[in-house]
Structure 1
Amino acid sequence: MSGLGLLALQGGAGSNAGSLAGAVLVFVVNLLIGAVGIHTGARLIVDKDVGYRRAVFTALIGAIVWAVVAFFLGWIPLLGPLLALVAWIGVINWRYPGGWGAAALIGFVAWIVAALVLYALAAIGLFEFSALGIPG
């Protein structure tokens, strides 16, 4: 994956990581971590229309949009990953008020928060450093 590729689901949940249940657990945890980042960013930047359920849906749709754009355009050096990032920010812009600037700031805060949460979880050995819904 490229440097700006979608942070893939990576199992680090012990022996269950290879099973379907382990994969579902890793998916859900990574999605929730991505949603925590988006929710925190939205609370800090726009502080309205910021329910956690909204953040989970935004993280899920954002991950799907990122993956689709990266799949079709990610092979283009520099432009492909940049377009995937703009598409992800576009999802945030669609889901939250404040325009493109606010969406970019929400995305930046989301990335920082998710990185900190993932670092903490990786430091105590629970999961690898990855999140669904937050580009890396």
Structure 2
Amino acid sequence: MLPLAGPIGLEDRLLTFAVSLLVGGGALHAGTHIVSDARTYGHAVLTALLGAVVWALLEPIPLLGGLLAIVAWIGVVKWRYRLGWLRSVGVGVAAWAAAVVVLAALELLGIGSVSALGVPGA
């Protein structure tokens, strides 16, 4: 029996990673526009990448990994945008909401294999 789809190639994985990072960066950029003075979109994409790395390193820690990861992710936003803790949390909530909207729209367009890299929970 022939498979309906072949294995996912490296190009497909890189494309999915790039689109997911751009979606996450866009969500962070939107979040900073809502809560504070936003910087460039490129700044948001790099922040999303750094946040994703911090999340990936800390989240697997047993018991406290999720809590450590979210606090560290907020810390990355705080550091990159020079905000206080509360405003950084606000950026995170706004970014999450923006990511959910963008991902829902992409799903409606039939593009459901991407995520919002760098935005926890999206």
CA offset digits 1:24-61 (Å, max 9, x no partner): 0000000000001100111111114x110100000000
Partner of 1:61: 50
Aligned CA RMSD, in angstroms, stands at 1.6
Partner of 2:91: 106
Runs of 5+ consecutive residues of structure 2 not aligned to the other structure = none
TM-score by length of 2: 0.89
- Larger Rg: 1 or 2? 2
1:51 aligns with 2:36: no
SS for the counterpart of 2:87 is helix
Q: Percent identity?
A: 44
Q: 1:70 corresponds to which letter in structure 2?
A: E
113, 117, 120: which one pairs with 2:105?
A: 120
Q: 2:34 corresponds to which letter in structure 1?
A: L
TM-score by length of 1: 0.80
CA offset digits 1:70-125 (Å, max 9, x no partner): 13x2x21xx32111111111100010022111111001100000111001101221
Counterparts of 2:6 and 2:19 in 1: how far apart (Å)? Answer: 14
Runs of 4 or more above 6 Å deviation: none
1:84 aligns with 2:74: no
Partner of 1:24: 14
How is 1:28-43 mapped onto 2 (pairs within 5 angstroms)?
Answer: 28-43=18-33
